[in-house]
Amino acid sequence: MATTTTSDGKLLGLWASPYTTRVQLALKLKSIEYELIQENLQNKSELLLQTNPVHKKVPVFIHGDKPICESLIIIQYIDDTWTNGPSILPSDPYDRAMARFWAAYIDDKWFPLLKELGGALGDEARASIVEKIFEGLVLLEEAFVKCSKGKALFGGDNVGYLDIALGCFLGWIKATEIMTGIKWLDETKTPGLVGWAERISSDSSIKDVLPEAQKLVELYTMSAGLEKGASN
């Protein structure tokens, strides 16, 4: 397992995992030093199996001797624990509830469609998934308008919970654009999200953490080739 140094906690993750990226974004936003332990999901470490015995998945953030699992839960823990940095979740109870709602929508409904697209068989099935992806983006455009309240980011003037929750997928969004030839964020349909993506990608707290789209394409292509070879 490859590691990068440091001190306030350990993060068990995978460079290509948007959920690992999500936690890294929160840690960077709070200026928290941590040790990143890259996991091999084909040969999971004992530490991962011990700290996440239920799902056996990354990310897991270990603070002291306390493991916290699931990226959105980890972000909330980070925000509650390191109160001296910028707040990630909105302070207003309604805004906080809406941020959690849309983050759950992204994870449970929208991003799975991008993954489903890769395995779609036939033009009709593929077209149906593409339509659902665009429908979801229109909903997220509406959410951006409401949550941003006319400002640059979901979190207003500063990177917040939803900026991290959706921003962690930008690498994979761009990677699927390369692989499918479909531009997901379109000025005519989702102008707010287009501007948001440009701003968030250039933000100093985010740009250095997002994986490069081309490297994700290479990983996906290699993984697909291995699966094809294994099935023969």
pTM of the model: 0.92
pLDDT, position 77: 97
CA distance 155 to 9: 26
Look at residue 224 in the predicted model and tell me its pLDDT.
66
pLDDT tens digits for 5-56?
446 899 999 999 999 999 999 999 999 999 999 999 999 999 999 999 999 9
> Tokens representing 61?
């953030």
Chain region(s) in the chain for CATH 3.40.30.10? 3-81
CATH architecture of 3-81: 3-Layer(aba) Sandwich (3.40)
Q: Which residues on adjacent β-strands are paired with residue 10?
A: 35, 62
Give the model's pLDDT for residue 231: 32
Query: Residue type at 86?
Result: P
Range list for CATH 1.20.1050.10 in the chain: 93-214
Nearest-angstrom CA–CA distance, 181 and 177: 5
Q: Which residues of the chain are modeled with pLDDT < 50?
A: 1-6, 225-232
Task: Please write down the HEC assignment for all residues of the chain.
Answer: CCEECCCCCEEEECCCCHHHHHHHHHHHHCCCCCEEEECCCCCCCHHHHHHCCCCCCCCEEEECCEEEECHHHHHHHHHHHCCCCCCCCCCCHHHHHHHHHHHHHHHHHHHHHHHHHHCCCCHHHHHHHHHHHHHHHHHHHHHHHHHHCCCCECCECCCCHHHHHHHCCHHHHHHHHHHHCCCCCCCCCCHHHHHHHHHHHHCCCCCCCCCCHHHHHHHHHHHHHHHHHHHC
93-214 classified as CATH 1.20.1050.10: yes
The confidence score (pLDDT) of residue 109 equals 97
Q: What is the pLDDT of residue 36?
A: 96
pLDDT given at position 5: 42
